[in-house]
């Protein structure tokens, strides 16, 4: 799936929580400024149950800043998404 605004290579990361493993929330950067929450969720939903998607927006314009977060119901789902999507061209 190509997100609105053209093709981009996205980057993903998750915080390591020490002995507790990794966070269920992943950070996604290099998104198009025209990406919607619906598109964002659709791209990441094949990897597990999404509890929340959040695009960070500019306070003045309300437009996305090009990055956001996806929170899955488990660490395994988040890691599966990172493995499949990090560096992917969307």
Q: Which residues pair with 57 in a beta bridge?
A: 64
Identify the pLDDT of residue 14: 60
Query: Does 16 score more than 70 pLDDT?
Result: no
- Bridging pattern class, strands 11-16 and 50-57: unpaired
Give me the count of residues in the chain: 90
Which superfamily does 11-85 belong to?
A: RRM (RNA recognition motif) domain (3.30.70.330)
- pLDDT, the chain, mean: 81
pLDDT tens digits, one per residue of 49-80:
999 999 999 999 999 999 999 999 999 999 89
Domain range annotation of the chain: 11-85
Identify the pLDDT of residue 1: 47
Taking the whole predicted model, whether its pTM rises above 0.85 is answered as: no
Q: Quote the tokens at residue 29.
A: 């950067």
């Amino acid at each position: 799936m190509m997100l609105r605004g053209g093709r981009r290579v996205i980057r993903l990361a998750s915080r390591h929580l020490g002995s507790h493993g990794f966070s269920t929330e992943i950070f996604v950067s290099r998104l198009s400024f025209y990406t919607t929450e619906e598109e964002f969720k659709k791209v990441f939903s094949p990897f597990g149950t999404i509890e929340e998607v959040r695009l960070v927006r500019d306070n003045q314009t309300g437009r996305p800043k090009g990055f956001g977060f996806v929170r899955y119901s488990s660490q395994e789902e988040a890691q599966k998404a990172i493995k499949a999507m990090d560096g992917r061209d969307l």
